[in-house]
Amino acid sequence: MIRQLVVVNLELEGFEVHTAVDGVDALQMVREVAPHVITLDIMMPRMDGWDVAAALREDPATAGIKLIMLTARAQEADVRRGSRLGVDYYLTKPFDPDELITVVQKLAEGQPV
């Protein structure tokens, strides 16, 4: 449900959106799509968002992609871990769709958030 909410809101703003079913699928899709911004959940099957973010940051070909962690994990330790991994923005559920749109727009344009 959350994934579909994200898709609908971003597509209504004119973004081209691709979705992955899990972390492994996300890493494969990144190679095919070359996105500017990726939203990740921590809790994903096969490979969690932490591992996906780490893999993206370790690969020079994907290290510059902007990452938004969109998750229910709101503890300070989780936010710090995201920061250490190079996550550009940490957004907790429930979230304001307008905030997500603003963050995606800014990151896609290379602006600070």
The tens digit of pLDDT for each residue in 49-100 reads: 999 999 999 999 999 999 999 999 999 999 999 999 999 999 999 999 999 9
Over residues 41-50, mean pLDDT = 95
Q: Does the bond joining 97 to the residue before it have cis omega, within 30 degrees of 0?
A: no
For domain 2-100, the CATH architecture is 3-Layer(aba) Sandwich (3.40)
Pairing assessment for the beta strands 89-92 and 37-40 based on DSSP bridges: unpaired
Please work out, in degrees rounded to the nearest 5, the angle formed at the alpha carbon of residue 72 by the alpha carbons of 113 and 38: 45
Which pLDDT does position 7 carry in this prediction? Answer: 96
Domain boundaries, the chain: 2-100
Cα separations in angstroms, 12 against 16, 57, 70, 90: 10, 29, 19, 22
Which pLDDT does position 49 carry in this prediction? Answer: 97
Over residues 25-52, mean pLDDT = 96
From edge to edge, which strands make up the β-sheet containing 89-92?
37-40, 66-71, 89-92
Read off the tokens for 35.
Answer: 């996105």
